[in-house]
Chains A and B, each alone.
Chain A
Amino acid sequence: MTSHFLKLEWKQFFRSSSFSKSIGAKILIGFFGLYFTCCFLLIGIGGYWILKKQFPEKDPLVLVNSFLMYVIVADLMFRYLMQKLPVMNIKPLLVLPIQKSKIVHFILIKSSSSFFNIMGLFFYIPFAVVLITKGYNLVGILGWLASMILIIQSVNFFNFLVNKNNRVLVGLLILLIFGYLIQYFNVFDLPGFIGQGFDRVYQSPILSLLFLLALIGLYVVNYKQLRNEVYLDALISEQTKEINSADLSFLERLGDLAPFIKNDLRLMWRNKRTKSSVWMIAMGLLYGLFFYPNPMYAGMEFMYVLVGIFSTGTLLINFGQFIPAWDSSYYNMLMSQNFKYERYLKSKFTIMTISVVALFVLGIPYVYFGWKVLLVHFAAMIYNVGVNTHVILYGGTFNRKRINLDEKAAFNFQGTGAVQWLIGIPLMILPMVIFGLINWLIGFETATATIAVMGFVGIALHKKLMAAITKKYITNKYVMIHAFNQEN
């Protein structure tokens, strides 16, 4: 029976019509996976010595333990956003003579072998091996390692329980911040306290049985919940909730662009794919925090441009690169409706421009890292409005892939083609290179001004550019209609 299921999965993967199309995207994901694996492996092997060097007076195992709480919570949140429920397409199986319990067990056990569960092992196993060679108690380390594996699996199943519940995520976030604050102000060392628990596991490995019990418990709860939901009306069909429509009448003053802008806002709020993009926007806005606090990048002013373009342009990039594919499922209708194409594109342009300005304003606190940062961000904002909006709208004419709005965004490469990767060059690399070059040859002020001037030129040419872009869209109309009609 299991082999049947496995065969089905295999065929589903290789025969999906998106497979051959998005093979490039798959390879890229593969590389990402490999990259993370290597990172984990290196940290796993070298971790002992790194910690020993940084904190010579402390025991590396105890140190790792004291951070495990964060690791577990972060892992859970990461999974919440990224890991899909392992519901294979079971609808056609329900009426076949297969016991429902078997289907459920298969789904659950399959999820244990997910990439998310294996990734962590690349750190824990080498780290444990190093500890053993360094003379730690063999049984103790094995007990500790077993606990780690059991925790990873438990988190896996816990994630499925919380996945449908937004409140749990918020709770976890609060817990994490709270834990951090507690440690920061030295009120009570919660992570340390939990760390001590893990130290105890090392001392008496028998305690790892507790995690086994937790895992079994979570599995049983998951099983029971899923088993009850293997019905058409529960698990498989989407729940239709009562919806409240927000009043968007304040947008009326945008004139004839209003209907499209209202639609696009609804598009963003009401679909899974776009909704999870909102998380990406938050991440994009905070992108600078990866760079600016790091002294390594302090002298690299051209990085400011990258961060500036990215943090003011996350919505521009996330939303813009799939214009007009967002509307692919009703593109036929739009094309037979009574409006000028220019109006449609103008509404997209307006949304992107507003978002860029708004994100710049939200990003003003970056001034903490120096006025130069803010200045470059300002120039980047102008560049985004003047150049990147047009570039991305132009890139849209090459979009040939339908987007299913009901699927999650993270790791969802549906609708992604070569364009989405190539467009990054004029979008981000070009301003970075220009800035870097002028900054090196002439100076910071001139370089910043150049970026801004490029943006202003784009704004000045807006009408002309839009006319050219519109023309291109109209020429490509039939090809796009045909492509958007192809279901994946």
Chain B
Amino acid sequence: MIKTTQLSKKYGKAEVLHIASLEIPKGQSFGLVGNNGAGKTTYFNILLDLIRPTTGAVTNHDIVVNQSEDWKNFTGSFIDESFLIGYLTPNEYFDFIGDLRGMNKADVKLFLAQFEEFFNDEVIGKKKYLRDLSKGNQKKAGIVAAMMGNPKVVILDEPFANLDPTTQIRLKKILKTLTENKEVTVLVSSHDLSHVTEVCERIVVLDKGHLVKDIVTSQETLKELEHYFSV
């Protein structure tokens, strides 16, 4: 359960985020959509305690994120390329993250085996540094790393951007399996309405920092969203 109360973020006088109340129950697949500057990444950054809210707080499984660091034990995330260590090979990177998340080499290997299809032979075992991989392949590595160590919460910012069509479809499959048992809460933001509606059971629309729509996904959701954004 991720609880947001009276959350706001101001830069000087400009308010970039204002969410009075938002509750994401455990095991939900939650989608965040909105135009540029809507506050999606800001919200995720606050959730990860990378920036401080001006007012209010976010509680991740009963832990106030800017008061204790214990949420890190069960939260995996990938926001952008700055989450990758450019001078490591993908394997070294996974080993590193695995180490931090209490997995040994064998665990890591076993874990990565599930994603063989997703990586499409372009990431694992390549003698290349992460910084030399294409944007899409970097993203694949980051997304998979976010799922390491059995997290209870996975946060992905724009996971579909830069991925090729095949990988997008595979990613959707992965995200669906992840939330199948209602154990893992997945938070995804995207500009691609059709992907989000397909993956997420609940979609929240942000506009200039404010929560303007909160939809339980149904057949009509895509139409509704397209209508909303085609102003």
Residues of B within 8 A of A245 (CB): 89, 92, 127
A residues 245-275 near B (Cβ < 8 Å) are 245, 258-259, 262-263, 266-267, 270-271
B residues 75-107 near A (Cβ < 8 Å) are 75, 77, 79-80, 82-89, 92, 95-97, 99-102
Name B's interface SS.
loop
Q: How far is the CA of A338 from the CA of B48 in the complex (A)?
A: 11
The reply to whether B92 and A329 contact each other, CB–CB distance below 8 Å, is no
A residues 461-476 near B (Cβ < 8 Å) are none
A243 interface hit (Cβ, 8 Å): yes
The reply to whether B50 and A332 contact each other, CB–CB distance below 8 Å, is yes
Residues of B within 8 A of A262 (CB): 92, 96
Residues of B within 8 A of A259 (CB): 95-96, 99-100
Of the listed residues A335, A336, A481, the one surrounded by the most CB atoms of chain B closer than 10 A to its CB is: A336
The reply to whether B84 and A333 contact each other, CB–CB distance below 8 Å, is yes
B129 interface hit (Cβ, 8 Å): yes
Q: How far is the CA of A266 from the CA of B86 in the complex (A)?
A: 11
Residues of A within 8 A of B48 (CB): 332, 335-336
The reply to whether A329 and B73 contact each other, CB–CB distance below 8 Å, is no
Residue-wise interface mask of A (470-486) relative to B, using a CB-CB cutoff of 8 A (1 in contact, 0 not): 00000000100110010
CB distance from B45 to the nearest CB of A (A): 8
Interface magnitude class on chain A: 20 to 34
The reply to whether B82 and A336 contact each other, CB–CB distance below 8 Å, is no
B223 interface hit (Cβ, 8 Å): no
The reply to whether B83 and A332 contact each other, CB–CB distance below 8 Å, is yes
The reply to whether B89 and A338 contact each other, CB–CB distance below 8 Å, is no
Q: How far is the CA of A205 from the CA of B97 in the complex (A)?
A: 68
The reply to whether B87 and A266 contact each other, CB–CB distance below 8 Å, is yes
B72 interface hit (Cβ, 8 Å): yes
| 6 CB < 8 A contacts A-B | A263-B85, A271-B87, A332-B79, A338-B100, A338-B101, A478-B51
Q: How far is the CA of A335 from the CA of B99 in the complex (A)?
A: 15
Q: How far is the CA of A28 from the CA of B52 in the complex (A)?
A: 37
The reply to whether B100 and A337 contact each other, CB–CB distance below 8 Å, is yes
The reply to whether A329 and B82 contact each other, CB–CB distance below 8 Å, is yes
The reply to whether B129 and A270 contact each other, CB–CB distance below 8 Å, is yes
The reply to whether A240 and B82 contact each other, CB–CB distance below 8 Å, is no
**A332: which of B72, B82, B127 is its contact (CB, 8 Å)?**
B82
Residues of B within 8 A of A238 (CB): 132
The reply to whether A243 and B88 contact each other, CB–CB distance below 8 Å, is no
